[in-house]
Chain A
Amino acid sequence: VTNTVVTDVRPAAAVPQRRSDRWAALRRRPTRLVRACLQAAVGLGFLGVWEVAARTGAIDELLFSRPTSIVVRVAAMLGGEQVYGRTIYDHISITMQAILIGYVIGSVAGSLFGFLLGRSPFLAKVFEPYVLIFFAIPKIAIAPLFIIILGTGLQSKVAIVVMEVFFIMFYSTLRGVLQIKEDLIGLARVMGASRMTVLRSVLLPASLPSMLMGLRMAVPFAMIGAILGEYIASNRGIGWLVLYSGSSLDSTGTFAAIVFLLVLTWVLDRLVGVIEARTAPWLPKDEKSSAPATAG
């Protein structure tokens, strides 16, 4: 391989430890500590500028609030203060109910359907155009339909979460099943494995990585479903709290509610991460941490 010649044009012995050179090396490959410090500095710097700008009146505090007020509000909420009629814990449990029920139903149904279409070429061909059309539909646009059918309570929120999670799980499972080498299945069959054994010992383990990735990706989507359901028609829950405090021009309350939402998403993501590590301990660490991509 000839192009290795140009990887380092300077002879190693002639590298002088001048100040500018060390700075250049640092710029190329910062150490962990330096990196962590800079990361913290960027975050704190942002919050600091926000705080100072709000206090000096450079930005309107009514609209932008400021970090310290948000922290105070979050603390008060954690202490059990009533926010718009309920404690934050009530709001969280209302939203979490919809998320958990919907997540379980959606992921089970999605992976079953993915398996079915992945293993049956005929069904896959038949359903292909419908699957692609459903993929193209902005699913949040159908959310109001569930409100008509199921009313404004828990059920419609669960249905919206199911819809969001179902499609993520379906695509991930399908992708996983289609990646399985047909040779493996043929070999197992030749060696006398029954259909059940093939399913349990070949198909499931081979498609598990993509299914687990789907489970991980579905977390923010479940969150989106629940929030959306509360935006459209609700008077409780953490998504409603964000919207309601926003429309009452209570910016501190909005940001505080968003903080809770983010922490909740993070906790759920970690939880699924732990399940992932338990279920498939043989997976390389890289593959396991392939976390959510982008979620609406």
Chain B
Amino acid sequence: VTGSADREPVSTLPPPGGVGRRVPRPRLGGRASVVAARIGVLAVALAAWQVAAGTGAIDTRTFSEPLLVAERFWNTLFGAVVFQGTIYDHLLVTGRAIAIGYAIGALTGVAAGYLLGRSALVAAVFEPYIVALAAIPKIAIVPVLVMFFGLGEPSEIASVALMVFIAAVFNTFSGVLHVDEELVRLARLMGAKRLTVVLRVIIPAAMPSIMIGLRTGVPFAMIGAITAEFVASTEGLGWAVQQASATFDPTSLFAIVAYLVLLTAVLGQVVAFAQRRALRWQPRP
């Protein structure tokens, strides 16, 4: 829980440009073999799973089998009921909590990070608290939120907002703290008003790390929503996963996790789009 915010913002996102970016040329015969190998890996894994389930090498009651999972996914896509609602009911509950909680957490987090980072004195005083807040396992606080807000949606929104707030405040804080004072002084010298300096210099300069905060906020929002649904809810994708586990239904569990992955991917794309728009002035890597 030590360290300082006085460094580059750190994210747990994958390295930019993918994991294989340094690769000059694949040795085994070019792109075609890479694509073939990718499909091959997936096909072999699924086939092995299917065969092992079919021959009884693994217990289908705990591992299910690919064809069953695909069928369950397909049926739920067309409105089959899973755990007291269609998949769209659950998606709506989780999606709404994430949308509202994310908006609250992002706005308050960026605002608080800005206010705390702009004054050297305030920044120095609050730095250890912000760093500690970022490093603690936040899911420990979820039961406290449930205690305050009761079961269901309010505590779920609060849990999402808290996770996003902490990701946003941490990165905004270190971004604003690292704005080149030279730029600020130059702008002031050239006669810029305070508001102009804030809007045209400080915020654009801090924007890259603000956007990192907002992007790391997406998986955190997901974690917040799912944890809250695990702990205290009777609807939503996270609750459905929990139900699938409690009723020993691995087929539904895999199918619902597939929807969760899709939801995460969509949300990630939305924020990545916003990031590209906000950082248009930056040269492409």
- Point out residues on A near B: beta carbons under 8 Å: 3, 6-7, 9, 26-30, 35, 38-39, 42-43, 63, 117, 121-122, 124-133, 135-138, 140-142, 144-145, 147-149, 168, 171, 174-175, 178, 217, 220, 223-224, 227-228, 231-233, 239, 242-243, 245-247, 249, 251, 254-255, 258, 261-262, 265-266, 269-270, 273, 286, 289-296
Contact A147 B245 (CB under 8 A): yes
Q: Which residue of A lies closest to B163 (CB)?
A: A296
Measured CB to CB, the nearest residue on chain B to A37 is: B125
- Which of B14-22, B49-57, B72-80, B195-203 binds A? B14-22
Task: Give the shortest distance, in Å, between A160 (CB) and chain B (any CB).
Answer: 12
Say yes or no: A7 contacts B245, CB within 8 Å.
Answer: no
| Pair B245/A132 contact, Cβ less than 8 Å | no
Whether A258 and B34, one on each chain, are in contact in the complex, defined by CB atoms closer than 8 angstroms, is no
The prevalent SS among residues of A at the interface is: helix
Q: Is the CB–CB distance between A291 and B125 below 8 Å?
A: no
Nearest-neighbour CB distance to chain A for B244, whole angstroms, equals 7
Contacts of A135 in B (CB 8 A): 14
Query: In the bound complex, how far is the Cα of B147 from the Cα of A249, in angstroms?
Result: 7
Contact A292 B135 (CB under 8 A): yes
Docked complex Cα distance between A130 and B19 (Å): 11
| Interface pick from B82-90, B100-108, B214-222, B276-284 | B214-222
B270 within 8 A of A: no
Chain B positions 219 through 256: 1 when the CB is less than 8 Å from some CB of chain A, otherwise 0: 11011101100111000011001101110101001100
Q: Which 7 A-B pairs have the closest CB atoms?
A: A291-B3, A246-B143, A144-B245, A293-B10, A121-B23, A124-B20, A296-B223
B268 in contact (CB, < 8 A): yes
| Interface bin, chain B | 35 or more
B264 partner, pick from A6, A137, A228, A290, beta carbons under 8 A: A137
Q: How far is the CB of B32 from chain A (nearest CB, A)?
A: 12
Given A227-B139, A266-B1, A291-B135: A246 touches B146 (CB 8 Å cut-off): yes
Residue contacts A-B, CB under 8 angstroms, 5 given:
A39-B129, A42-B126, A122-B26, A231-B139, A265-B137
Assess whether B136 is in contact with A262, with CB atoms less than 8 Å apart. yes
- The answer to whether B125 and A145 have CB atoms under 8 Å apart is no
Q: Are the CB atoms of B121 and A30 closer together than 8 Å?
A: yes
- B128 at interface (Cβ–Cβ under 8 A)? yes
One of A175, A231, A239, A251 near B15 (C-beta < 8 A) = A175
Q: Are B238 and A141 in contact (CB under 8 A)?
A: yes
**Is A148 a contact of B223 with CB atoms below 8 Å?**
no
Nearest A residue (CB) for B1: A266
Instruction: Indicate if the CB atoms of A289 and B143 lie closer than 8 Å.
Output: no
Asked if B124 and A35 sit within 8 Å, CB to CB, the answer is yes
What residue of chain B has the Cβ atom nearest to residue A288's Cβ?
B3
B-side contacts of A223, CB under 8 Å: 137
Separation of A63 and B143 alpha carbons in the complex (Å): 12
A89–B186 alpha-carbon span in the complex (Å)? 59
Given A6-B189, A63-B147, A125-B23, A220 contacting B244 (CB threshold 8 A): no
- Give the chain A neighbours of B135 by CB distance below 8 A: 220, 265, 269, 291-295
Q: Is the CB of B268 within 8 A of A136?
A: yes
CA distance A245 to B23 in the complex (A): 52
Chain A residues near B222 (CB, 8 Å)? 138
Query: Are A220 and B137 neighbours in the complex by a CB distance under 8 Å?
Result: yes
- The answer to whether B257 touches A294, judged by C-beta atoms less than 8 angstroms apart, is no
Check: B131 CB closer than 8 A to any chain A CB: yes
What residues of B have a CB within 8 angstroms of the CB of A293 in the complex? Answer: 9-12, 134-135, 170
**CB-contact partner of A122 in B27, B171, B264, under 8 A:** B27
Distance of A217 Cα from B128 Cα, bound (Å): 17
The chain B residue sitting closest to A261, CB to CB, is: B140
Q: Once the chains are docked, how many angstroms separate the CA of A175 from the CA of B4?
A: 22
Asked, given contacts A246-B146, A249-B147, whether A294 binds B20 with beta carbons under 8 Å apart, the answer is: no
